[in-house]
A = this chain, B = another copy of it.
Amino acid sequence: MHLIPMRLTTFTDFSLRMLIHIALKPQGRATIAEVAQAYGISENHLMKVAHLLGQAGYVTTLRGRGGGLVLARPATDITVGEVVRRIEPDLALVPCFAKGDCVILPACRLKHALHAAREAFLAVLDATTLADIAVPDAELRGLLGIAA
């Protein structure tokens, strides 16, 4: 038996917000400072998010003047499930005995149910693409202060 920490951290939250923001920009380019301001969140933290998104191959990061972030793959090709799996640290398949503190592990049936439930959770997110959640309508752009 074990505990599946399935909390989505703000790190993952910010990752998704950032991708949405970039996808909504007419030219498809945004800077960290711009996203941080739009959502009123920490620029420092966002920088780390941006870096990881770059390393994971979701965005291309451009340094220097006129730089910023650009989607590295089409929005229709990036699923929410994929991003969550990649960004959320504890969603990775961790052996239940990571802490080795459960006695009935070998015979634990709850483990299977929890695993199946988690897969069902991710399956729904796998069916949702960035294009689905970043529809460039006027309302969304308005709320984010993005000119059409």
Interface, chain A (partner B; CB < 8 A): 1-10, 12-13, 16-17, 20, 38-41, 80, 101-104, 106-110, 113-114, 116-118, 120-125, 128, 132-135, 137, 139-140, 143-144
What's the least CB distance linking A58 to chain B, in Å? 15
Cβ contact within 8 Å between A107 and B6: no
What's the least CB distance linking A105 to chain B, in Å? 8
Please name the residue on chain B nearest to A12 by beta carbon: B3
Prevailing SS type, chain A contact patch? helix
B residues near A40, Cβ cutoff 8 Å: 101, 103
B residues near A16, Cβ cutoff 8 Å: 1, 110
Cβ contact within 8 Å between A117 and B107: no
B residues near A107, Cβ cutoff 8 Å: 137, 139-140, 143
Cβ contact within 8 Å between B124 and A113: yes
Cα(A101)–Cα(B40), bound, Å: 8
B residues near A139, Cβ cutoff 8 Å: 106-107
What's the least CB distance linking A94 to chain B, in Å? 13
Cβ contact within 8 Å between B133 and A124: no
